[in-house]
Structure 1
Amino acid sequence: MKKTAALSVDIVVIGGGSAGLSAAFRAAEQGVRVCVVEYEKLGGECPNWACVPTKAMLKAASLYHTMRRDGARFGVRAKGLTLDVHALMKRKDAVVDVITGSGKRMRKALDEAGIEVVRGRATFTGKTTISVGERVIKAKSFIVATGSREYVPPIDGVDDVPVLTFRDAVSLKRLPESIVIIGGGPVGCEFATFFAKCGVRTTLMHIGPQLLSREDAELAGMAAERLRDVYVGLVPKCKVLSLRKSGKRVCVTYQSGTATRKTVMVDAVMLATGRRPNSDGLALEKAGATFDAEGHLRIDAALRVAPRVFAAGDVTGEWQFTHVAHHAGVLAADNAVRSLRHAPPKRMRLDVVPHVTFIDPELASVGMTAEEAVSAGCAIDIKRFPVGALGRAVVDGKREGMFKVILDQSSGKILGAHLLSDRAGEVIHEVALAMHLGARWDDVASMMHAYPTYSEVIPAAMG
């Protein structure tokens, strides 16, 4: 067999997901020759299996749930209301197709930008070379953007039962009658919302005392109540001890705190126990990269992991969000190009990172919680306002929630903001922009806001 000729480029981007594609296009814009290595679908997990399909599924579930529970209150009644899972999934696939173009649109854009795509898995063979199957690729700089993978906890029997991951859950042909979801982070909470709103008996087991442990404790507690309100059973401080097959069902043995061990029989079990950087098999040590005691890449503020190697996205283990990956991909590309031109690197900023958990209502945050601000030695003021007092919330019948903003006592600058509300993911960006620009809280809150909108929560919290 004839051996494929070696390829030589300026920058190789390993991974064709959110971070990798952002990096590739950014680097190509600056006139360097770029190659992307990817073994799965272009676009990565967010548009194909995660963010996009789950939001399409949540939209359908919310519509069904609203019609069943609240339709009559609004004067809308429907007889024989049913959930057509096949049609739900068909629409989800159509949404994914519109956004991704089935991968063809992205491939065309890469071709038009002069970016070569090599299919396969990359392995470093030296500081300036990688191999992809039989092919050798040489580059002056590399950007590693290989994403992350599901973490499977060491539960007795986990390898012997058919547990679902989020990829499995977005591809179901039929819904189970009952499900246990293990993990109380954003993924677990969003899927618990989906299954419960579809009428599936749903239990969410999480290891800590607080659901959504990275969020403000007060609002996370309110979010837990809202999940219970849509019939999600919550089991905090829970250790899942074993999983056993029992016919077509699964027997889950667990212990909550110091309580007696219990078992529950369900049709399905889903793991939502977090993700780990996807760096296995890359042989990054051959490029000069090092790892900490937990196996995470050591990375500096310029996203450099070795003299010629940069990293971006979930593989870094930092803030595993698509928008962070996009931002980091651009910065990694800039720094890779700057290294070729012997220019000083830019630094990554992670002080203003808005993020949203798409439960009902949405929980959106940016910056520090009150606890984090106090731990950092800040003297703080806290402003609160109940969402239910807003005119728009009354009109929509969506009165659950709270807005909370954390201020530096001396300067009036915004340290963090947290909102549990319908459309919270949109509203939070006004506060994020203010933080990004270094604006004072009273400058933002004194601006006129349209009535009736959820954005009025900002001046309302001014008092």
Structure 2
Amino acid sequence: MSVKRYDLIVIGSGPAGIAALEAAREAGAGRVAVIEAADRLGGECPNTGCVPTKALLRTAEVMELARRAGEFGLEIPEIRLDFAGAMRRKDRIVDSLTSGGRLEGYLESLRAELVRGRATFVSRDGIEVSGQTYEADRIVIAAGSETVTPPVEGLAEAGYLTHAEILSVERVPESLLIIGGGPIGIEFAHLFAVFGSRVELVEIAPRLVPREDEELAAVVEYSFRKRGIGLHLASRAAAVRRDGGQAVVQVMPVAGGEARELSGEMLLVAAGKRPALRGLRVEKADIELDGRGAPVLNEYLQTTNPAVYVAGDAAGQMMYTHVAHDQGYVAGINAIQGNEERSDLSVIPRVIFCRPEIASVGLTEKEAGERGHDVIVGRGAYSGVGKGLVTGQQDGLVKLVADRRDGKLLGGHILGEAASELIHEIALAMKAGLPYTAIAGLTHAYPTFAEAVGVAAYGMVE
């Protein structure tokens, strides 16, 4: 076969890949191609990640609210989960985004050639797919991420579910074991606990969501235990076996001590994700990886091969869809016009969609102190604002972190209803370099949860 040559090849059709293609077209790219190995275009988020997960979490949210109907003067005789119906709704939402040739048609509108198959590098500028070689002046890797499988004895033999596979189960398990207490693990723990499963979660760190603010994490732990979710923190899964239809996990305290066994009908592994680069044979393109298996990148998302850029989860930095889109734009522009745009991850909101929601941006109180800031903290409780009272959502907290010397906001952390929406006021203030007094001086509408942001800021005024 003859070699096919392009100005740009993008590996992956998820948010980073599509954004890179759009940016490259705007920058004047000529002949471009997109390589995709999956059956559906769009990447993980709309197909097997955030979109279907949040669709099911919405069902859980409505179900929980219905159970509280009596508080609002309503009588609902029976609240019963139609799991098959919830799954059909989830599938319809996914299909509305990625089925029926929607994304294929969009690629055509961008005049991009779609190449189906698994890509592997064969040289610094060459990629092979199903025996055909493709070369390009510039390449953007947007191949996404893959589930990390922890080194647990017997795990492969016993079998387990990934976050993608559990979205296709046909029934709610009577019991569910989860390895991993990060965002993915606690979202599914919350989801299946609401649906009626007995849930046990094992996390090697001493607390849930170890990246998040300790104060908020403690509230989440309390909420989970109150729901009946078993938490086994500072513990590791040492071995897994099958006993009849049950997965049996041997759990060992990290500090040492007696092991115990947990059993469950289903086992979910949610121990994190890593860049999906192993099958690409990036070493053939002289692309160096760090000790975590992530590509070594400069501020322009350029690899050690100047012709290759990486964006999104494949970059191994902040694995969020909104970050993938932004990085895709940066990589696409730089690939065509030279290194003009820098990747800036200093102010990136992040959200965990359990109940209550957790939303954060910037540094935690502990991180700010470790970096030498003269830390000042403000708090605003949902119980102190009218919206919390009238909605019955009083379990919430806004926490702001700033430097006392110049008033600069360093971080914001919210636990509670609408946290995913409220965090953007704090993010905007940080992006604009505003001090906390700017938020304290802003009139927030009554009654809103946003008042708690103002209360937190006002509490910092000395």
Scaled by the length of structure 2, the TM-score of the pair is: 0.96
Deviation string 1:60-92 (CA, Å, 9 cap, x unpaired) is 122223323x12222222223211111010000
Contact 2:175-2:264 at 8 Å conserved across structures: yes
Aligned residue among 4, 17, 27 for 2:24: 27
1:227 is aligned to 224
1:134 is aligned to 131
Contact 1:183-1:271 at 8 Å conserved across structures: yes
CA distance in 2, matches of 1:133, 1:261: 48
1:385 is aligned to 380
**SS of equivalent to 1:166:** coil
Moved over 4 A (4+): none
Counterparts of 1:390-401 in structure 2, within 5 Å, are 390-401=385-396
| Number of residue pairs aligned between Structure 1 and Structure 2 | 454
Offset of residue 295 of structure 1: 2.9
Unaligned stretches of 5+ in structure 1? none
CA distance in 1, matches of 2:365, 2:136: 46
Aligned residue among 244, 247, 268 for 2:244: 247
Contact 1:393-1:454 at 8 Å conserved across structures: yes
Output the aligned Cα RMSD: 1.3
Aligned residue among 184, 189, 211 for 1:187: 184
CA distance in 2, matches of 1:266, 1:126: 47
CA distance in 2, matches of 1:110, 1:293: 35
CA distance in 2, matches of 1:228, 1:96: 32
CA distance in 2, matches of 1:299, 1:264: 42
Letter in 2 for 1:409: R
**SS of equivalent to 2:89:** helix
Q: Is the counterpart of residue 418 in structure 1 residue 413 in structure 2?
A: yes
Aligned residue among 432, 435, 439 for 1:437: 432
1:407 is aligned to 402
Counterparts of 1:9-24 in structure 2, within 5 Å, are 9-24=6-21
Offset of residue 288 of structure 1: 2.1
Q: Percent identity?
A: 39
Aligned residue among 185, 196, 201 for 2:198: 201
Offset of residue 362 of structure 1: 0.6
Question: Are residues 184 and 103 of structure 1, via their aligned partners in 2, closer, same or farther at CA, if it must alter by over 3 Å?
Answer: farther
Counterparts of 1:78-97 in structure 2, within 5 Å, are 78-97=76-95
Aligned residue among 365, 370, 395 for 2:365: 370
Aligned residue among 131, 150, 153 for 1:153: 150
Letter in 2 for 1:43: G
Scaled by the length of structure 1, the TM-score of the pair is: 0.95
Q: Is the counterpart of residue 336 in structure 1 residue 331 in structure 2?
A: no
CA distance in 2, matches of 1:326, 1:38: 17
Counterparts of 1:212-361 in structure 2, within 5 Å, are 212-256=209-253, 257-305=255-303, 306-339=305-338, 344-361=339-356
Letter in 2 for 1:172: V
Contact 2:376-2:401 at 8 Å conserved across structures: yes
**SS of equivalent to 1:160:** helix
Deviation string 1:359-391 (CA, Å, 9 cap, x unpaired) is 111100000011111111111211111122111
Letter in 2 for 1:224: E
Letter in 2 for 1:55: K
CA distance in 1, matches of 2:446, 2:257: 50
Deviation string 1:230-267 (CA, Å, 9 cap, x unpaired) is 22111101111211111111122112343421112211
Offset of residue 283 of structure 1: 2.1
Letter in 1 for 2:312: G
Contact 1:250-1:267 at 8 Å conserved across structures: yes
Contact 2:146-2:274 at 8 Å conserved across structures: yes
Contact 2:380-2:454 at 8 Å conserved across structures: no
CA distance in 2, matches of 1:108, 1:231: 47
Contact 2:249-2:261 at 8 Å conserved across structures: yes
Unaligned stretches of 5+ in structure 2? none
Offset of residue 331 of structure 1: 0.3
Q: Is the counterpart of residue 174 in structure 1 residue 176 in structure 2?
A: no
Offset of residue 128 of structure 1: 1.9
Contact 2:250-2:261 at 8 Å conserved across structures: yes
Question: Are residues 284 and 265 of structure 1, via their aligned partners in 2, closer, same or farther at CA, if it must alter by over 3 Å?
Answer: closer
Offset of residue 103 of structure 1: 5.7
CA distance in 1, matches of 2:293, 2:89: 40
1:38 is aligned to 36
**SS of equivalent to 2:342:** coil
Q: Is the counterpart of residue 115 in structure 1 residue 124 in structure 2?
A: no
Offset of residue 160 of structure 1: 1.4
- Deviation larger for 256-265 or 32-41: 256-265
CA distance in 2, matches of 1:89, 1:295: 35
CA distance in 1, matches of 2:315, 2:296: 8
Contact 1:356-1:425 at 8 Å conserved across structures: yes
